[in-house]
A and B are shown apart, each in its own frame.
Chain A
Amino acid sequence: MSRSGLPHLIFFAFVRWFYPGSFLITSSWFRSSHMQSILRRTLAPSNPLLRCQVNVTPRAFRPFGLRTIVTKKYTVEHECVSFDDSTGLGVISITDHAQSSLGDVVFVELPQVGTVVAQHDQIGAVESVKAASDIYAPVSGQVEEINETLADQPGLLNKSPEEKGWLCKIKLSDPSELEKLMNKEEYEASYEH
């Protein structure tokens, strides 16, 4: 590591700690610092401790071979993942709260099918007129499918963020990562003041 690299890392660690729930805004349309503070303010959880809250809900009992269980989990970065344990696939989307904070989504950049991602890797971005927000992988795995309709209809992210506006499907390599994510109530509590 170069000598100059270390303070940089410390700075990033600080940012991640201090604004755990922030979208990483890569740019903005007026003073970037202003926009960062806007979205941080809008989207950051009120209680920083929530970021490390562990899911304590007991795992539902699954009668073997009868039916599948879909678990929906949320991140402080405002992504959510719907995991179907029969296929091992997680459907990734941004939350309704995130889309309403972003405004009109006009462009979505998605990962390539086949990409292997680690939890918290940047996998794409959502752009509204006012800002760009990075999307992070809520879970580790391989990208199996992306939502091609978003190329023509990015507005689906506003109309139906967690259903028709899904971003991609990831084959989870470690489903136990889900346990570290938040359930709906915890997620909602994380941004409500």
Chain B
Amino acid sequence: MVPFAGYSMPLSYGDVGQVASHNHVRTDAGLFDVGHMVQSNFRGPTATQFLEWLTPSSLSSLKPYSSTLSVILNEKGGIIDDTIVTKHAEDAFYVVTNAGRRDRDLAWFTEKLEQWNSTEHAKNGPVEMEVLENWGLIALQGPRAASYLQALTSFDLQKLTFGTSAFVPLEGFNLHVARGGYTGEDGFEISIPPSETVEVAKILSKYPVQLTGLGARDSLRLEAGMCLYGNDLDEDTTPVEAGLSWVIGKERKESGEFIGAEGVREHLKNGPPRRRVGFIIEGAPARQGAKIFSGTEQIGTITSGIPSPTLNKNIAMGYVRNGFHKKGTELEVEVRNRRRQAVVTSMPFVKPNYWRG
């Protein structure tokens, strides 16, 4: 057990090592307790417009019961947090944010809601935020996740494609199930009211599903090329630098009025000063903080790195100066005072296995 964002959380369960646990999610299925993450509902007549002010995403064109990765930006266009936003209706959204950013996020939401609701935006009623305190959130991930879950519900999961969600009857419970996750595998994130969480978790953790800890969660997400806030994203990084320009809606790139738009547009127009890229590294794995060199000049820093259990290669992501970001660029990374070869590699490192119907 380790302290994490104010919670005590397991790195691993029982005697299952991190590599075995990781592999089990890639070949079978694993269950992650991610109840530490912050789940919130935003409701109100102008909920769509409000969230389009807080994020650069095109939420008006998002279909109901669809989700998108997004970013909450500060005034400079730096990333306050990354988030999954699910639209239930024009006036109702379900938002999941990081536990480690809880205080910052909730204070920001509260401040911005007050601002919004004090203007004429709220003339037909305010936008309100409800934090789902103590709700459970569990992620069932892996190629066998769907068949496992299907055996417990009459809902046809074939119709629930990647990036969509639904209320699914499950052994007498009616739960919000979103297809997606943080592993690159097919899977589901299931939101559960506090009183039902333990029972649902028990139902979802039978053979072949294995309980999976934070350790494997990190190596799986890194193989999938996904960012970890605090490592790979921070408030001094714009989504353009982070390689997340795709979360910015097409029509919003030009004219969208969202917080941080100016900084984002500047990077879109002139190119960002640095970019997040993936690496394959020879020899020793490079970890967070390792310096990236081109010749004698440091041109970047590694933000996450592991020996990949799936590929048996050292993978990493980090930021390099713009111009050194092209796939195949040969650079060097310093680990324990020695240079190691690092080749810029496209991400994800492991091909995703999403259910797209």
Contacts and interface: CB of A to CB of B under 8 A. Distances in A.
Interface of A: 26-32, 34, 37-38, 103-104, 106-107, 109, 122, 125, 127-132, 134, 158
Contact of B3 (A34, A104, A106, A129): A34
Which of B2, B218, B228 counts the most chain A CB atoms within 10 A? B2
B67 interface: no
Interface residues of B, number: 34
Given A27-B289, A34-B4, A104 B19 contact: yes
Nearest to B214: A30
B19 A129 contact: yes
B22 A30 contact: no
B284 A27 contact: no
Interface in B279-293: 283-290
5 contacts: A27-B288, A103-B12, A109-B283, A127-B284, A129-B309
A107 B307 contact: yes
A131 to B, nearest CB: 8
B288 A32 contact: yes
Contacts, number: 83
A27 B285 CA distance: 10
B336 interface: yes
B305 A130 contact: no
Nearest to A27: B287
A132 B309 CA distance: 15
Contacts of A106: 19, 285, 307, 309
Interface of B: 2-4, 11-12, 17-20, 22, 100, 214-215, 218-219, 222, 228, 230-231, 283-290, 304-307, 309, 314, 336
Contact of A128 (B18, B100, B314): B18
Closest 8 CB pairs of A and B: A27-B287, A104-B19, A106-B307, A104-B17, A29-B218, A38-B2, A129-B18, A103-B18
Contact of A129 (B215, B228, B289): B215
Contact of A109 (B214, B284, B290): B284
A30 B18 contact: no
A26 B63 CA distance: 45
A104 B18 contact: yes
Contacts of B214: 30
Given A26-B287, A103-B215, A130 B18 contact: yes
A128 B219 CA distance: 11
